[in-house]
Amino acid sequence: MTIHREGSVVPESGIYEVIHHGKHDVQRHEVTCIKGKRFPPCRGCGKDVEFRPVRLATHVEDHRFF
């Protein structure tokens, strides 16, 4: 399983599970990330966040028909 850290470039658009390891206790949750942007840090726990792909999909702006 591929794990991405905050600050790294999103390799593929899609839904990512977020795991926080910082100072607050947040349950895992899912977010949409866009290819080419950076995975953001958490505003609460700072820099100890992991992103794991759940379902990857082509962003509409990157699709050849749009």
Residue range 45-55: mean pLDDT, rounded? 87
The whole-model pTM stands at: 0.86
Tokens of 2: 């591929």
pLDDT of 25-47, one tens digit each? 677 899 999 999 999 998 887 77
Percent of the chain with pLDDT over 90: 65
Q: What is the mean pLDDT of the chain?
A: 89
Phi-psi bin for 33: left (phi > 0), alpha (psi -120 to 50), beta?
beta
Tokens of 30: 């899912």
Which residues are within 8 A (CB) of 47 and not within 5 positions of it... i.e. 6 or more apart?
A: 6, 7, 22, 41
